[in-house]
């Protein structure tokens, strides 16, 4: 049983990753959130490499909020569509699907990615 937030998230992350896996045709969108930035990357698990990635810090934003998260999702969708990726599997990485994580997913959907 997890008694702190970090251990609880790792337990949930292991559970989610046992069910979600990306392929070449339908890669995995993985999200990581820190106190200063939000990161998203599209990963092909069969070959074991990252196809494309975006972070809020590389876009020149200080801090993260809902608008920045949505912008990261749109930028990721733009880069993914340019490299020929249209369908993905969403990996929330142990975070609750709410707030900044949800905004990133909605931004990716608005950008043209299909979950």
Read off the CATH number of the domain in which 29 is found.
3.30.420.100
Neighbours of 15 (CB within 10 A): 11
- Note whether 94 and 12 are within 8 A (CB): yes
Q: Which two tokens stand for residue 108?
A: 């990716």
Q: Is residue 64 part of a domain?
A: yes
Residue-number span of the structural domain to which 27 is assigned: 22-110
- Residue 95 falls within a domain, yes or no? yes
- How many angstroms separate the first and last alpha carbons of the chain? 32
At residue 19, the pLDDT reads 75
pLDDT one-digit tens code per residue, 75-93: 999 999 999 999 999 998 8
Q: Residue 6 domain-assigned?
A: no
Report if residue 11 sits inside a domain: no
> Number of C-alpha atoms within 13 angstroms, CB side, residue 27?
24
Angle between helices 66-82 and 100-110 (to 10 degrees): 40
pTM of the model: 0.86
Number of domains forming the structure of the chain: 1
CB atoms within 10 A of CB 106: 15
């Amino acid at each position: 049983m997890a008694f702190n937030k970090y251990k609880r998230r790792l337990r949930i992350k292991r559970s989610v990753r046992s069910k979600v896996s990306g392929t070449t045709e339908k890669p995995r969108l993985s999200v990581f959130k820190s106190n200063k930035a939000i990161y998203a990357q599209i990963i092909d698990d069969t070959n074991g490499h990252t196809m494309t990635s975006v972070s809020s810090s590389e876009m020149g934003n200080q801090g993260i909020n809902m608008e920045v998260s949505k912008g990261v999702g749109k930028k990721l969708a733009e880069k993914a569509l340019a490299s020929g990726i249209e369908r993905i599997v969403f990996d929330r990485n142990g975070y609750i699907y709410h707030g900044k994580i949800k905004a990133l997913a909605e931004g990716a959907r608005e950008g043209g990615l299909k979950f």
